[in-house]
Amino acid sequence: MCENREQQAVKELLLYIKNEKLFTGDRLPSERTLSDELSVSRSTIRVALKTLQANGSLESRARSGYYLKSKNIPRDFQNNGQIDDKSHISDSLEAFYLFEPIAVALATERMNDETLELLEQCLVNLSKAFVIPDINKIVEYHQSFHEIIISATDNDFIIDALQRFELAYELVSDMMSRVSIDQRNQVFALHVNLFNSIKERTPIKAKLASEKMIISISNFLEKYEGIDLPKVIRENQQVLYKPIINQNEND
């Protein structure tokens, strides 16, 4: 299960820090390097890094990487590496829903043509991953798509803050392997809708498109991974978006 992959990656990262004799303030290698060193996928390494960041062991610096903040083992990992994943992810989804759409609206106002082209290329790559389908690539490009958008805010605090909310990608990976083709296609359509809203330079539409995407992913996580739907999402989904989760139930 994905929780086990994440927990194992966290423990391996902690062991790596110990064996490499890193000191507080030292910069960790890149995700790619850690992935190669630990023989773990980049998406799993990314989740493990963000988990340790959320628990106070690591500090993320925008456009720089991760730095060792504390060598103390986080309390959540002192009991055989067990963490309350589902509760933590539910809280993360709630915060993400309240914060990210506003950042998307700001990014829509500030995004330059070069970044827009980069976002469009990411969307093309995501489309190819959906066609194959390559679940790991879907998750990778899904995350890259959002990171490109958020980088366009040109606000280091926003960029750093949003990194703390994105701990569900491994669950998304496991989930995407089980949904129907039609449901995956509809998830991709949400990305297209968000891109078009940004391309039109309409912040309000982009904010709404972002909210709809988060609601969609949250409903998938509730159905396939048992994640409790945050109250704010449950209350707003009937107003904003008819969840696609109930479609194709017989597929």
- Determine the pLDDT at residue 249: 46
**What is the four-CA torsion angle of 208, 158, 234, 167, rounded to 10 degrees?**
120
Residue 135 belongs to some domain of the structure: yes
Q: Are 52 and 133 found together in one domain? A: no
Residue 251 belongs to some domain of the structure: no
How many structural domains are present in the chain?
Answer: 2
CA 34 to chain centre: 19
pLDDT band at 154 (very low <50, low <70, confident <90, very high): very high
- Measured CA to CA in angstroms, residue 12 lies from 5, 66, 94, 176, 216 at distances of 10, 16, 29, 26, 33
pLDDT band at 17 (very low <50, low <70, confident <90, very high): confident
From the list 173, 206, 172, the residue with the least C-alpha distance to 192 is 206
Could you give phi then psi for residue 73, rounded to 5 degrees?
Answer: -70, 125
CA atoms of 169 and 174, how far apart (whole Å): 9
Tell me which of 53, 77, 101 is where a domain ends.
77
Mean pLDDT over residues 90-116, rounded? 93
From the list 39, 43, 31, 50, the residue with the least C-alpha distance to 12 is 39
Do 206 and 104 form a contact (C-beta atoms < 8 A)? yes
CA atoms of 126 and 218, how far apart (whole Å): 20
Q: Which domain holds residue 22?
A: 2-77
Q: Are 9 and 63 found together in one domain? A: yes
Q: Are 109 and 195 found together in one domain? A: yes
Q: Are 185 and 234 found together in one domain? A: yes
- Measured CA to CA in angstroms, residue 53 lies from 49, 67, 79, 149 at distances of 6, 9, 18, 22
Q: Are 193 and 231 found together in one domain? A: yes
Tens of pLDDT along 22-40? 878 889 999 989 988 888 8
Q: Are 113 and 130 found together in one domain? A: yes
- Determine the pLDDT at residue 110: 97
Mean pLDDT over residues 117-129, rounded? 96
Domain containing 69 — which CATH number? 1.10.10.10
- Determine the pLDDT at residue 169: 58
Tell me which of 29, 51, 77 is where a domain ends.
77
Q: Is the pLDDT of residue 172 over 90?
A: no
- Determine the pLDDT at residue 170: 57
Q: Is the pLDDT of residue 47 over 70?
A: yes
Mean pLDDT over residues 56-62, rounded? 84
pTM of the complete model: 0.66
Q: Are 124 and 191 found together in one domain? A: yes
pLDDT band at 145 (very low <50, low <70, confident <90, very high): very high
